[in-house]
Amino acid sequence: MATNPFHQLDAIRKASQRGKRITDCYRLMYKKELWIQAQETVCGSTGEAPISVVEIENIIEQLRMGTFRFGHGKKRWEAYVLEVMRIIIECIYEPNICSMKKRKSRHDVLLHMKETWREVTWCICGNMKGWNEKKGHSVFLHLLQVKINDQRFLLLIHNALICGIMKKWNLSNRIEKGDTFRRLLRDIYFYTFDRWMENAVGQQGEYARYENQFIVGLASTKRRAAGMQEQIHYFLRNSLYLQETELFLTHVERPILFLGYACEMNERTIRLEIPKAKLEAYARKHQYGDITHFISTHRTKLINRSELEILHTYHAELQKIAHYYRLATNYHHLQRLFSLAESSFIKTIASKRKSTCRKVVLRMRIHKKGQLCLVGEDNSLHSFIQLKDVKGRYKGE
C-alpha cells in the first residue's frame, strides 16, 4: 500500500474505473491523513471542536485490533469513522457518484426535457419510496460488493447499518446537509437505478430523474409502455426493495405531472405549466384565502410579529413559488396568487392595527405612489413584492 493515502485513493479510483473490485479499503482507514480530512468535513457541518490526535489514534488502534463497534450514533467520533468510510467509497464510485454530487436542480432536469424530448407518446412517472429497513441492509451490501472485495470493510458498513445509521430513512426523506454518509448511500441506490433504467429504456425512449422522482418517455404502443411499467415495478420491488413506489402511465394527450409542473407534450415541444391545483393548495397552506373565488383572509398567527416581519414573511413565500415555477409558460398565472397574498397582507396589518383595510391602504400608499409600503426605523421604504420584480424567470419561450 502506498505511504500517501491520497495516492492510494487515486489508484483505487483508476482501478475501479477499469472495472476491478477494490481491496485494502479497511487498511486505508489506518492513515491519519484521512482522519484529518474527515475532521474538516465533520467539524464544518456540526460546528463542534475537533477530536484530539490521541482519540484518532485510539480509533485506529481499535480498527487494527478489530474491536471497533458502532453504538447507535451516540458517540461523536462515530461521525469521523463514517466520514472516512465515505471518502473511500466515494473514490470507488467516481466519476458516477461525483457527477451526482454536482446535483442538477429540478429546473435543469425540466429544461433538459423541454429542449431534447421529442416524439414521445406515453410517459411513466414514478416516485421511489417505501424503503424496507430489514432487507435494505442486505441490498446496500450487495450493491457495494459489486465494486468492493474487502470483507472487513463490508462488515464495518454492516455494523453501521444494523446500529441504525439508516433508521427511519427513506429515499424521499430530506437528508441534512452534513449527513454525508447517508447521502452517499442514497446516491448509490440512485446510481444503480439510473444504470438499470438506461439499459432498459435504451435508444427507444427518454429517461429523467430528480432525487426520488423519475419519468420515462416512450414512442410506443400502450401495450409496450405498460410492459415497461411492469418491468420497472418488478425491479424496484424485488431488486431495490422499494415496496411503496408509485407508478403512473399516462398518454401525452393529457397533462403529465412531474416535479410539481404539468407537462403538456406534443410531437415537437413540451410546455411546462403551473397546475391550477398547486396554486389553490399554496394559497390554502399559507392562509392567503380562496384563490378560486378570490376571497382573502387575515393571518392570525402573524399578528404578534412586527409589521416588517409580516411583510418579509409574505415576500419569502411569494419569491419561493415564483422561483419554483420560473420555467412555466403560464408564469403570469402567479399574478392572481400575488394579488390574493397582497389582499391577505392588508387584512393582516389592519387586524394588527385594529383598523380598517381602507385606512391601511391609504396610509401605506402615501409614501410611494400606487404601491403598498412600510416605513422602516431608518425611514427606508419597504414595498410589497410584485411579480414583475421577481428575478430569474426563464425566457426561452
> Burial level of 92, CB count in 10 A (0-12/13-18/19+)?
buried
DSSP 374: E
Same-domain pairing of 283 and 206: no
Kind plus residue range of the DSSP H or E element containing 143: helix 133-145
Kind plus residue range of the DSSP H or E element containing 375: strand 373-375
Closest CA to 389 of 377, 372, 364: 372
Q: Max Cα separation, the chain?
A: 78
Query: Is 303 a member of any domain?
Result: yes
Query: Is 181 a member of any domain?
Result: no
| pLDDT at residue number 16 | 92
Altogether, the residues listed in the chain come to a count of: 397
Query: Is 183 a member of any domain?
Result: no
- How many domains, the chain? 3
pTM, whole model, 2 decimals? 0.84
Same-domain pairing of 116 and 260: yes
Average pLDDT over residues 271-297: 97
Average pLDDT over residues 242-264: 91
Q: Which comes out higher in pLDDT, residue 169 or 150?
A: 150
Task: Give the residue from 272, 291, 317 where a domain finishes.
Answer: 272
| pLDDT at residue number 144 | 92
Percent of the chain with pLDDT over 90: 60
Which of the listed ranges 169-183, 188-202, 281-295 does the model predict with the highest average pLDDT? 281-295
pLDDT at 190 over 80: yes
Domain that includes residue 195, residue range: 106-131+190-272
Query: Is 71 a member of any domain?
Result: yes
Same-domain pairing of 346 and 359: yes
Which residue type is seen at 109? Answer: V
Same-domain pairing of 160 and 52: yes
Task: Give the residue from 225, 242, 272 where a domain finishes.
Answer: 272
Query: Is 182 a member of any domain?
Result: no
Task: Give the residue from 214, 245, 272 where a domain finishes.
Answer: 272
| pLDDT at residue number 204 | 80
Same-domain pairing of 199 and 289: no
Residue-wise pLDDT tens digits, 120-166 = 999 999 998 877 767 778 888 898 999 999 999 999 999 888 887 76
Same-domain pairing of 35 and 142: yes
Average pLDDT over residues 37-43: 86
What's the CA gap between 186 and 100, in Å, rounded? 11
Same-domain pairing of 243 and 323: no
Average pLDDT over residues 368-397: 83
Residue-wise pLDDT tens digits, 363-373 = 999 887 778 99
Q: Which comes out higher in pLDDT, residue 233 or 43?
A: 233
Same-domain pairing of 231 and 110: yes
Residue-wise pLDDT tens digits, 295-313 = 999 999 999 999 999 999 9
Same-domain pairing of 16 and 71: yes
| pLDDT at residue number 4 | 87
Helix and strand numbers (H, E) in the chain are: 15, 11
| pLDDT at residue number 397 | 46
Same-domain pairing of 143 and 112: no
Query: Is 7 a member of any domain?
Result: yes
Same-domain pairing of 330 and 197: no
What's the CA gap between 286 and 282, in Å, rounded? 6
| pLDDT at residue number 44 | 76
- What stretches of the chain adopt beta strand conformation (E)? 122-127, 205-210, 213-218, 246-251, 256-258, 261-265, 270-273, 289-290, 295-296, 373-375, 381-383
pLDDT at 169 over 60: no
| pLDDT at residue number 310 | 97
| pLDDT at residue number 12 | 92
Same-domain pairing of 233 and 164: no
Query: Is 162 a member of any domain?
Result: yes
Q: Which comes out higher in pLDDT, residue 350 or 178?
A: 350
Residue-wise pLDDT tens digits, 68-117 = 988 765 577 888 899 999 999 999 988 776 555 555 789 999 999 999 89
CATH number, domain of 210, equals 3.30.70.270
Query: Is 380 a member of any domain?
Result: yes
pLDDT at 394 over 80: no
